[in-house]
Structure 1
Amino acid sequence: MPVARSSKAQSSKQPRASKAPSVTENVPQEKEEGCQAKRSPSSPQGGPKKRSAFGDITNAHKNQTVTGKKEGVKAPTHKATRAPPAPIVAKNNEINLKKSLRKTPPTDVPVEPEKDSVSEEPVQQVLVVEDIDKEQLGDPYANAEYAKEIFDYMREREEKFQLPDYMEKQPDISRDMRAILVDWMVEVQENFELNHETLYLAVKLVDHYLVEVVSMRDKLQLIGSTAVLIASKFEERCPPCVDDFLYICDDAYKREELIAMETSILRTLNFDINIPIPYRFLRRFAKCARASMETLTLARFLCEMTLQEYDYARERPSKLAASSLLLALTMKNLGGWTPTLEYYSGYCAQDLHPLVKRLNFLLTYQPCDKLKAVRTKYSHRVFFEVAKTTPMDMMKLEEKLKS
């Protein structure tokens, strides 16, 4: 029995010794093929295809085993059967093998960490940016599945509705007259209990109409009331009738004039009145910040203050809404501009700082004390009396924005 065991051991060791190089070849090949099978689904022979980087590493391992065989066989016969250049070639092969052994480990090390670092980047972004539409996926009225695309489309339409400086073409209308008109339109919106979207859209209709048509001051109120009528039909479920608008104008215009002005505005704007307004973006961004109703109302007050100011009419609605919310968050000490807000708004905090400072200056120094419709409106308890909020000091605001 001991003799049989030794004979089996000898017979099994000999083929294993001869097949040892092939075992060392198969181990890296299986690992590489497992990696490559996911990256190249098809190849001419139907098997997994290898990339050049992994192919070079595989060839290096193969060269090591093959040349090892040749050197092991030919080493004892160098001096007797080979010419003098043969030892030089063998030494060169040994040097190349040593170099390849030294080079292959560092090539394996950087490849895997680079893959891990690349795969971790989107994971970090997903963890930081919150999906604000996830909670309303089951609500058919929220359109949560298309909310992101809808607001991206509104951002694109901002390019089409950029306002030029049209006051230079209006010889009989000034900025102060426009401010008085908007102040009156705020009172109309409050008396009729219209949506805020109706007010913002009506002001946009007035501006875009005055870009194309030169008007006289005696027709300015007619333009404003007609713009509110059109916006009410677009936004409201039950819009006021024509007689209501004639009444609020103190019967200064006739029914025919109001209907004619409605036709003129719609034809001038080519019936394209779906104009992006800051109020829609503001509600969207407040949802991203998970702001309370009081904070949202303060941002609405800041944004509505800009309706009377002609200098803010040419600002992008989305940027104006984002700046109003950032100032409201800063005034309430609720933090700054989060990655979620940056993702959904498209603006980083540095892009909004100049406009935030201008809004705080407007809140501190109101140009005209006679136009108090917005302040009076937001001084009511329904709006949390946000108009009575103390404006921030400009130096403190700048320090907070930098921090």
Structure 2
Amino acid sequence: MSFNMSHETLYLAVKLVDHYLMKELCRKDKLQLLGSTAFLIAAKFEELFPPCVDDFLYVCEDMYQRHEMIAMEMSILKTLKFDINIPVAYHYLRRYALCLNVSMKTLTLSRFICEMTLQKYDYVHERASKLAAASFLLALYMKKLKNYAPLLEFYSGYTTFELHPLVRQLNILLTYHYCDRLKTVYTKYSHEKFFEVTKTPPLDIATLDEIFMY
């Protein structure tokens, strides 16, 4: 069984897990339950026809009981005080792409960069708008579209100077992706459906430093 859910649902589910773990401890054997339940909540919030509890239990290979998932759902919602309308980077990526009127390939590349961060703790505390802006700026640089940078500054509210440290960090993330054990995002964006954006090489340090100088 697979769920054809939106990117917004994915981003929100990850945010729910992050926010929950900032306030509560979770045993290792319950992490899959936490993640699945966060997806359940996010799907209810974002999807027109969300999967039901039994669907998620099936995906978990019946490791958990129905009452456990419902209890976890209540725990997440109470811990977050039912405040689950959390800003996610994906919303900002779509706005920047619309404002700058860039191609779908450039937007997809920025999505790939941003989605890679969902697997990394280093980016948990970054503001969604800033992470999206840095991902988009790096995509522009990689596509040799740095002339769009002033427009991104205008619509994002961040200067390129503010974004450059994060852009550098994201570029390193792409450069050393092969060292990562988590391959799902990279494999996903290697498909033709996503324009095979993984074939777009990250920038070398010298090129990035040269761009930063201007």
8 Å CA contact 1:337, 1:348 repeated in 2: no
8 Å CA contact 1:208, 1:269 repeated in 2: yes
Please point out which of 263, 271, 282 is paired with 2:93: 282
Secondary structure of 1:212's counterpart equals: coil
Structure-2 residue corresponding to 1:66: none
Structure-2 residue corresponding to 1:317: 128
Cα 1:367/1:386, change in 2 over 3 Å: closer
Structure-2 residue corresponding to 1:241: 52
How far has the Cα of 1:257 moved from its partner? 0.4
Alignment TM-score, normalising by the size of structure 1: 0.52
State the distance in 2 between where 1:234 and 1:339 align.
Answer: 34
8 Å CA contact 2:92, 2:132 repeated in 1: yes
Q: 1:326 aligned to 2:137?
A: yes
Please point out which of 185, 193, 205 is paired with 2:16: 205
State the distance in 2 between where 1:287 and 1:341 align.
Answer: 11
How far has the Cα of 1:367 moved from its partner? 7.2
State the distance in 2 between where 1:368 and 1:238 align.
Answer: 37
8 Å CA contact 1:212, 1:268 repeated in 2: yes
Structure-2 residue corresponding to 1:253: 64
Could you tell me the percent identity over the aligned residues? 64
Alignment TM-score, normalising by the size of structure 2: 0.96
Structure-2 residue corresponding to 1:372: 183
Q: Give the AA of the match of 1:268.
A: T
Please point out which of 39, 47, 51 is paired with 1:228: 39
Please point out which of 23, 28, 32 is paired with 1:217: 28
1:93-108 matched pairs, under 5 angstroms:
none
Deviations 1:277-301 (A, max 9, x none): 1000111111122110000000000
Q: Give the AA of the match of 2:21.
A: L
Deviations 1:243-302 (A, max 9, x none): 110011010000010011001100111101000110001111111221100000000000
Structure-2 residue corresponding to 1:354: 165
Please point out which of 111, 115, 119 is paired with 1:304: 115
Q: Give the AA of the match of 1:283.
A: R
How far has the Cα of 1:368 moved from its partner? 4.5
Q: How many equivalent residue pairs?
A: 214
Cα 1:220/1:202, change in 2 over 3 Å: same
8 Å CA contact 2:137, 2:152 repeated in 1: no
Deviations 1:348-378 (A, max 9, x none): 1111111111100000012743210000100
State the distance in 2 between where 1:369 and 1:349 align.
Answer: 28
State the distance in 2 between where 1:325 and 1:340 align.
Answer: 12
State the distance in 2 between where 1:261 and 1:367 align.
Answer: 35
Please point out which of 68, 74, 92 is paired with 1:263: 74
Which has the bigger relative contact order, CA under 8 A and spacing at least 6?
Answer: 2
Please point out which of 367, 376, 383 is paired with 2:194: 383
Q: Give the AA of the match of 1:373.
A: T
Bigger radius of gyration:
1
Deviations 1:147-182 (A, max 9, x none): xxxxxxxxxxxxxxxxxxxxxxxxxxxxxxxxxxxx
In the alignment, structure 2 segments of 5+ residues that lack a partner are none
RMSD: 1.4
